[in-house]
Amino acid sequence: MKKYLSTMLRCNCRQREMNVLRPIFKFIVRLPRVPTAEDLVVVVDVTSLGGQYTKNTTNFSFLKETALLFALLTCFWAVGQEEDTSYKKRVLEASEVNLVFSYYGQKGDHAAVSGGEGTEKLTDAASSIIVQLPLNPDDVLTVDVGISAYTSASSSNVNPLDGDPSQIVSPFSASSGASRSDQLVHFNPSLEHSSEDRNKIWNINAYIASEYDYFSLGIGGGYTYAFNEKNTELSLNGKLYFDKWNPQYPIELRAGFFDNRILGSGNYEPSFTAFDKENRNSYSLSLAISQILGKRLQGSVFMDVVMQNGLLSTPFQRVYFRDTNDFFIDDFQLADDVEHLPDSRFKIPIGARLNYYLNDAVVLRSYYRYYADDWGISAHTASLEVPVKLGDSFTLYPTYRFYSQTKADYFYEKETALSTYDFYSSDYDLSKYTAHQYGVGVQYKDIFTKTRVFMFGLKAIQLRFSKYDRSDGLGAFITTLGTTFIAD
């Protein structure tokens, strides 16, 4: 009886149905007596054991009442089941936890910290935990928390003199001082709300990140509207970032610097002035339209508008001029200045995606993007990913990505800029180059979550590896491991 009463209480009936059933409730209330604990045992026996009971534990009158009540509750349960056909499906049925770990490494010989010449060796280990919580059928809260710890030979040369004094100072070797490593911590909460018909989605989000010399605070929001029987989707998103530098200048440009090992013609007296701005603000607006074009074809187009202002230069990146004398400590050339870039930048990326479902096992995912900004850079990106299903649980992900860009108006190789220029940088990220990225990934997915870890079931695990090669000599790789767990 408890079973059917709980079912009755869970039913979400409309008012008219409650009016029909109200006389039945009155009749039930007038039943001559309430079943005892012993009677309930017999009811269980009657309903689950085919009516096997003994005469001395119940009476025929109670069984009639019980049978009538059973029939009435069964009718009520049927009404409830009819209601359940219109039950609103939850956006997220259960809480999910995603654990992501990545390891990145790179090598190169054009470090911006040492004016476009020197080691770019860097390693970075990052981990994140992303928790998705369904607050109710319509709302999902997502919290992303992570930390990234890196060791960089190039950033160690912000102060190449704080290492072992017995070692030769060189831009191609790393200092062992404190500037060699740092940690970046981020916190990214977001809230998503879906409409009753699931055709509209609103979202708001925030972003906080901090490392030794940089702090970032961001807020954002967006709106997605699906129409044309959900075959067409329009989305609009905006983000605002308010960042602040804690400028770390090259050691030789700091007040009070002196070293008796300096070699050069004349006195080392760089014409350096610290930046008077320390803020960097970014504003972006994104528009995207996706369309189901057929049974096998889906496409989307997108455009972003990005505006930045404030301190867009990196304070610790050296520049060497063509028209000034050179000064050294061992093999390390002392800076003439740090990079100077305009205090505003306008960017417009425009792109498209096209997905073609070749068959049940193979999907072709293509991507193209054109980028242009008012610093003189234009770029093209094209990529192709081909997921291949290997049975019910495994999927293979081979990928390829191509990128090319022109150089910025303010990029100069080492000792080619003049000290009279307003803007200059030797950061090879602003140079002309092409790049190729090759990758492969494998995913295991278990929709039944048979593997358990405490109170969570393993839904998916994915491992990816990518290799990156740039025409200026920079090479990099990244390995990423991700897991998804579902709470009971």
Structure-block tokens of residue 129: 């935990």
Question: Which of 92 and 45 is assigned the larger pLDDT?
Answer: 92
Nearest CA-CA partner of 231 in 132, 165, 277, 300: 300
Q: What is the spatial distance between Cα 225 and Cα 237, in angstroms, rounded to a whole number? A: 12
- The identity of residue 340, as a single letter, is H
Q: Are residues 353 and 435 in the same domain?
A: yes
Q: Are residues 49 and 110 in the same domain?
A: no
Query: What is the CATH classification number for the domain harbouring 365?
Result: 2.40.160
| Domain boundaries, position 50 | 2-84
453 has pLDDT over 90: no
Q: What is the pLDDT of residue 177?
A: 62
- Summary mean pLDDT of the chain: 85
Which pTM value belongs to this model? Answer: 0.79
Q: Tell me whether residue 19 is in a domain.
A: yes
Could you please report the per-residue DSSP string of 386-442?
A: --EEETTTEEEEEEEEEEEEPPPTTB--TTTB-TT-S-BB--GGGS-EEEEEEEEEE
Question: Which of 101 and 48 is assigned the larger pLDDT?
Answer: 101
User: Which 3 state secondary structure label does DSSP give 482?
Assistant: strand
Q: What is the spatial distance between Cα 488 and Cα 484, in angstroms, rounded to a whole number? A: 13
Lowest-pLDDT choice from 91-105, 146-160, 184-198, 405-419: 146-160
Confidence of residue 3 (pLDDT cuts 50, 70, 90): very low
Confidence of residue 31 (pLDDT cuts 50, 70, 90): very low
Give, in degrees to the nearest 5, the angle at Cα 134 between 130 and 140: 70
pLDDT per position as a tens digit, 469-482 = 999 999 999 999 99
Q: What is the spatial distance between Cα 210 and Cα 216, in angstroms, rounded to a whole number? A: 6
Give, in degrees to the nearest 5, the angle at Cα 308 between 336 and 103: 75
Q: What is the spatial distance between Cα 112 and Cα 154, in angstroms, rounded to a whole number? A: 8
Select from 84, 104, 138 the last residue of a domain: 84
Question: In sequence order, what are the residues at sequence separation of 6 or more whose Cβ sits closer than 8 angstroms to the Cβ of residue 254?
Answer: none
Question: Where are any strands of DSSP class E within 196-278?
Answer: 200-211, 214-227, 232-245, 263-264
Select from 64, 84, 104 the last residue of a domain: 84
Structure-block tokens of residue 257: 């610097």
Q: What is the pLDDT of residue 87?
A: 60
Confidence of residue 450 (pLDDT cuts 50, 70, 90): confident
Select from 21, 52, 84 the last residue of a domain: 84
2 has pLDDT over 90: no
Q: Tell me whether residue 65 is in a domain.
A: yes
pLDDT per position as a tens digit, 47-95 = 333 333 333 334 444 434 444 444 444 444 444 444 444 567 888 989 9
Q: Tell me whether residue 89 is in a domain.
A: no
37 has pLDDT over 60: no
Lowest-pLDDT choice from 172-181, 285-294, 403-412, 475-484: 172-181
